[in-house]
């Protein structure tokens, strides 16, 4: 079960209520009705007019009263909307069961605590489909105060997991804060209008991760971003003049209506791309100078990266039980190696593997593993690859050996995450391993200026690719999340962003 909160919040409850009770964009809304709320559904259900239409005036008026009483003290965007959907294979829940789920979500988020029906926010839950509901609330308490919103997305995730346990539904991963922020629907539509292969947020996240992986210091990081054609805006502290406390990035051709660049801070791209967390993994003492390398030196760098990946894969299996911190740091460093290799080889499949592996590499809840020898060695190998570029001596053999070791590395991380009961991270590592396998069975580049000829991950359907016991291989292409199939929104509803998982 997945719950998705609309972001940004909306302003007009009338438009959302009208849409939820309407036929939908493709006549998919059947039998819309209230199943729960701050009052019994029978008390506030919109009545039918003689012509068969519904009269929403009373319901809309009741929902807006507390916000109107707050006046200027209220939220500028008071409409809170959460869509909750069960998995397609789950049994059909009754109205009473959905009502209990909606009430539990409102209680856990603190919007409507138990026993405060006359003081908390006013809300309703609408069901117009078999497998999902919509919860609508106005963020104004009836006692004349504003509700406090604290980690609401994680509280919704907890309520969904509790419902899975209570009703025997398909189990989903916990919200461990390892997922990167998904591009919004507006960002996807903007990319589609401009014929871009992906939204700016995704492209910038990859560019920042690649620059950070190839850098050993803050200066190298910003220089690499500039070389990649990314606009950078540094944020300076107020207490210490000249101290850089953060940064934002933008693409030169991604502008808003006024013609200004659309900026994304590191934290808006991924949990581990904030400047403090990037500084945590840099080691200026191992900085690599940007100079030309001979063929023998480039071959040695790729050989070193291959041996490092093989050694770290075995160490992750060893340390996952005896030294979890060392294993976590090695997994985090593996993501750097994948990003740098994808940039060096110009491989689309390797880039997909790096993107998939990102979540598997992050420590849960924003924790930063302490630097360990295995992780430090792998990061140093990644920096060398970033400086070396492609090799020109027996490239096919060198690359196939390297990719083969990366497959083992991704599988080792998948085994570790599965042992830690982190299904979402294990699935991310397995997806990366599948992409890497596609790279391995395809053609490697034959020269320094040639991109590799590769097969897509769909070709794996007819090939044997063993996975650890009890871990079925993921689908060739990334599955769309349940949240991505959340019920469509209509006029007056804020466009939702992907859930924080």
What is the DSSP secondary-structure string of 443-488?
PPPSSTTS------GGGGGGS-----TT-PPPPSSPPPPTGGGPPP
Q: Angle of helix 423-441 relative to helix 348-361, nearest 10 degrees?
A: 160
What DSSP letter does each residue of 286-307 carry, written as one string? G--------HHHHHHHHHHHHH
Give me the phi and psi of 94, to 5 degrees please: -80, 170
Q: What is the pLDDT of residue 455?
A: 34
HSE (side-chain half, CA atoms, 13 Å) at 127: 20
d(CA 438, CA 465): 10
Q: What is the pLDDT of residue 291?
A: 61
d(CA 43, CA 58): 10
Q: What is the pLDDT of residue 298?
A: 82
d(CA 358, CA 338): 9
d(CA 2, CA 108): 15
Residue 133, strand partner residues:
84
d(CA 203, CA 186): 16
**Quick one: tokens of 55?**
């009269």
**Quick one: tokens of 287?**
């900085």
Please give the model's pTM, rounded to 2 decimal places.
0.68
Q: What is the pLDDT of residue 401?
A: 86
**Quick one: tokens of 140?**
């104004």
Q: What is the pLDDT of residue 385?
A: 86
d(CA 437, CA 455): 10
Q: What is the pLDDT of residue 55?
A: 93
d(CA 303, CA 401): 9
Three-class HEC string of 174-217: CCCCCCCCCCCHHHHHHHHHCCCCCCHHHHHHHHHHHHHHHCCC
Strand order in the sheet with 244-250: 231-236, 244-250, 264-265
Closest CA to 148 of 102, 183, 116: 116
Going from the first residue of the chain to its last (501 residues), give the mean pLDDT of each consecutive group of 10, the final group possibly shorter: 88 92 78 93 92 92 94 92 92 94 95 90 93 95 91 90 91 74 86 91 94 91 93 89 91 91 93 90 68 77 89 89 89 91 86 90 83 89 83 68 90 90 87 84 43 33 34 36 35 38 35
Q: Is the dihedral of CA 445, 429, 198, 339 positive or negative?
A: negative
Cβ atoms 153, 175 nearer than 8 A = yes
What DSSP letter does each residue of 366-377 carry, written as one string? G--PPP-HHHHH
Return the SS3 of 130.
Answer: coil
Q: What is the pLDDT of residue 84?
A: 95
Question: Which residue in this structure is represented by tokens 């960002």?
Answer: 187
Cβ atoms 147, 139 nearer than 8 A = yes
Cα 61 to Cα 35, 46, 58, 106, distances in angstroms: 19, 11, 5, 21
Return the SS3 of 380.
Answer: helix
**Quick one: tokens of 346?**
């110009």
Q: What is the pLDDT of residue 392?
A: 56
d(CA 321, CA 325): 10
Apex 235 CA angle, 178 and 238, nearest 5: 115
């Amino acid at each position: 079960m997945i719950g998705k909160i609309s972001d940004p919040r909306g302003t007009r409850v009338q438009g959302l209520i009208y849409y939820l009770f309407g036929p939908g964009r493709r006549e998919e809304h059947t039998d819309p009705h209230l199943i729960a709320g701050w009052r019994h559904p029978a008390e506030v259900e919109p009545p039918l007019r003689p012509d068969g239409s519904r009269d929403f005036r009373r319901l809309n008026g009741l929902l807006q009263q507390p916000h109107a009483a707050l006046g200027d003290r209220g939220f500028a965007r008071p409409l809170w909307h959460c869509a909750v959907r069960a998995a397609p294979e789950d049994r059909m829940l009754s109205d009473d069961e959905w009502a209990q789920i909606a009430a539990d979500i409102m209680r856990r988020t603190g919007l409507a605590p138990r026993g405060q029906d006359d003081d908390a926010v006013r809300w309703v839950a609408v069901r117009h489909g078999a497998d999902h509901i919509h919860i609508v609330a106005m963020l104004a308490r009836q006692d004349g105060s504003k509700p406090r919103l604290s980690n609401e997305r994680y509280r919704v995730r907890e309520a969904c997991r509790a419902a899975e346990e209570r009703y025997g539904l398909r189990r989903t991963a916990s919200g461990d804060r390892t997922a990167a922020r998904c591009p919004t629907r507006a960002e996807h539509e903007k990319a589609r209008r401009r014929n871009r292969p992906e939204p700016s947020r995704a492209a910038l996240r990859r560019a920042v991760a690649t620059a950070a992986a190839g850098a050993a210091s803050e200066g190298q990081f910003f220089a690499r971003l500039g070389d990649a054609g990314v606009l950078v805006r540094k944020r300076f502290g107020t207490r210490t003049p000249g101290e850089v406390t953060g940064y934002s990035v933008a693409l030169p051709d991604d502008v808003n209506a006024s013609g200004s660049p659309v900026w994304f801070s590191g934290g808006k791209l991924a949990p581990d791309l904030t400047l403090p967390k990037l500084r945590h993994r840099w080691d200026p003492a191992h900085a690599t100078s940007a100079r030309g390398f001979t063929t023998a030196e480039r071959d040695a760098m790729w050989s070193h990266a291959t041996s490092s990946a093989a050694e770290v894969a075995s160490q992750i299996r060893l340390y996952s039980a005896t030294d979890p911190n060392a294993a976590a740091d090695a997994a985090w460093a593996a993501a750097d190696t994948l990003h740098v290799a994808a940039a060096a080889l110009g491989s689309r499949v390797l880039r997909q593997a790096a993107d998939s592996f990102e979540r598997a590499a992050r420590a849960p809840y924003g924790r930063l593993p302490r630097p360990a020898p295995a992780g430090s060695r792998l990061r140093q190998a990644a920096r060398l690859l970033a400086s070396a570029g492609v090799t020109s001596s027996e490239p096919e053999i060198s690359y196939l050996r390297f990719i083969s070791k990366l497959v083992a590395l991704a599988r080792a991380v998948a085994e570790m995450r599965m042992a830690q009961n982190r299904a979402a991270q294990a699935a991310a590592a397995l997806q990366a391993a599948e992409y890497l396998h596609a790279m391995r069975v395809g053609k490697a580049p034959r020269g320094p200026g040639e991109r590799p000829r590769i097969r897509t991950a769909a070709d794996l359907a007819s090939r044997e690719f063993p996975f650890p016991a009890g871990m079925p291989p993921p689908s060739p292409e990334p599955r769309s999340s349940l949240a991505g199939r959340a019920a469509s929104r209509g006029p007056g509803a804020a466009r939702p962003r992907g859930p924080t998982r």
